Amino acid sequence: MVHEYEMIDEMTKAAWKSAVDSYLNTLPKVRLEQVADGLDATARYLQAHGWTQGAYLKEDGSACAVGAIYKTLNTFYLVPYQCQSIVSLMTFDMDRLPIIGWNDRPGRTKEEVISLFHQAATKVREVLKERYSQE
């Protein structure tokens, strides 16, 4: 038997998956390529410099998920905002938390955060492939 809260949860998940897809469909090809590369670059930054909770950026170079986006991508026009939007939609889909709350949740690991960025980059590249495979 499915409980009402489980049905709502599945409906919410479907709505957020649709929100991610809809958002990605608003971006032009060149921006999607930049965003995918930016998400991977952010994962590499976290791997190299470390990850933290409760702080945007620490003196040792470690960063939270959002801090790493902006530290890595501060030279790209709008790309940091778009990367943050995509991972925020994905974390809300997973845990009903915006990216900052998801990052700072007790028990969260560096590996989970890095994996999120790789998953997001993969999602963006899937959209690129679907949309532009005929070119």
- 68 CB-near residues (< 8 Å, 6+ apart): 42, 45, 46, 49, 51
What pLDDT is recorded for position 6? 42
pLDDT higher than threshold 60 for residue 10: no
Average pLDDT, whole number, for the chain?
81
What pLDDT is recorded for position 85? 78
What pLDDT is recorded for position 103? 92
In the chain, what are the domain boundaries?
28-132
Find out whether 71 and 122 touch, Cβ atoms under 8 Å. no
Which of 104, 130, 99 has its CA nearest to residue 25? 130
- Amino acid (1-letter code) at residue 126: E
pLDDT in tens, 39-71: 999 999 999 999 999 999 999 999 999 999 888
- 22 CB-near residues (< 8 Å, 6+ apart): none
| Phi/psi at 104 (5° precision) | -90, 0
pLDDT in tens, 67-119: 998 888 876 655 667 777 778 777 766 666 778 888 999 999 999 999 999 99
What pLDDT is recorded for position 20? 72
Find out whether 57 and 63 touch, Cβ atoms under 8 Å. yes
Which of 45, 21, 43 has its CA nearest to residue 32? 21
Confidence of residue 17 (pLDDT cuts 50, 70, 90): low
